[in-house]
Structures are given as C-alpha cells and as structure tokens.
A = this chain, B = another copy of it.
Amino acid sequence: MAATSRGHRERIVYETAQHLRRSGVGGTGLRQVVADAGAPRGSLQHYFPGGKDQLVGEALDWAGTWAAQRVEEHVARMRRPTPARLFTAMTQDWARDLEARDHARGCPVAAAVVDCADTNPAVREAAASALETWRRPITAALVSMGRPRRRADALSTLMLCALEGAIVLARAQRDTAPLRLVARELAPVLDA
C-alpha cells in the first residue's frame, strides 16, 4: 500500500530526528530508529540508498522546516507582534518541550553540528541549510514588524544563537531558567 510505505518513510525520518535530539549522530543507531518507527529494516536501504548520511540530512531538513512552520504559527497568532514577543514564544516552546520530556531532547541541528561539522561535510551542510530554513521566517517576520532588512538579519541570528546556547545550558543543569533568561535579557535589544 502506497499510503503505508509513505508512512514508513516519513516515520523513519521523524524518528531519526528524535534520536538525534537525544543522543547525537554517533549515538543514533539505525536499527533502533526503524524499530522505534515501527518500520521494517528493509525500508532503510530502499528509501535511503544514500545511507545514514542521507537519512540524517533528511531529518535535519525536516527539523528545519518544522521549526520554520512553528515560527510562522507564532507570528500568525500574535495580535501585537514584536520581535521580543516572537522570541519569547520560541523560548517558551523549548522550555515546555524540555520540561515535558525531562530535558531529554535538545536541538537536532546543534547535535549534528557538534558531532559532524568536522568529519562529515554533507551533514554539516544539511545543518547549515536547516538553520537557514529556520531563520528565514524569523527574518521575514522582523521585517514585517518594521525592521530594516539588515537589522532583521542580525536580530534573527542573535535569536538563534541565544536560543541554541540556552538549550545547551538548560539541558546541562536540567533547568529551563536560561531559556527564560535570554528571552528577558534580549527583549530590549530586540524591541529597540
């Protein structure tokens, strides 16, 4: 059935992303991924002939797209949008996720960068591309809030830096305080 197999492929990509969030690239075993995805092992070489690199790449693509959608949802939902409010919404997303899952899962893109930036050019590029996919709607939103293009570009990068770092610190100390802190401290810069 076409629908089922489509389901298998997508589930594998999704589950790969979740494993990346938990244990990084090196800690993610393909056999475990397909098992958790409820997919047959044979699907791996069928759908991902490029091997683990392809699979990780697609997982990062998926994650970037998902994050971008999330940004756009926030922007659409906000009545009086400001950059600081958007950033607060993003950090709240992450704080909630960390707390709900006992700080088990971080950002898959950061995991890929940390594990493969030096050893795996393909994965590194996929990570860079995912970050751009994520950053683009943020920049666009800031422009729509009246920021000049270049300013919006800088601020969206600043947001992602602070967010990624805060996730790392939060997971280390098992406390989402850093996420709330960066949202609070960056507000004046973002809304200036």
Contact = CB atoms under 8 A, between A and B. Distances in A.
Interface residues of A, number: 49
- The winner among A154, A160, A165 for most chain B CB atoms within 10 A is A165
Nearest to A179: B161
Interface of A: 22-27, 103-106, 109-111, 113-119, 124, 127-128, 131, 154-155, 157-158, 160-166, 168-169, 171-174, 177-178, 181-182, 185-186, 188-189
A168 B116 CA distance: 11
Given A103-B118, A165-B166, A166-B161, A172 B128 contact: yes
Contacts of A119: 22-23, 27
B158 A181 contact: yes
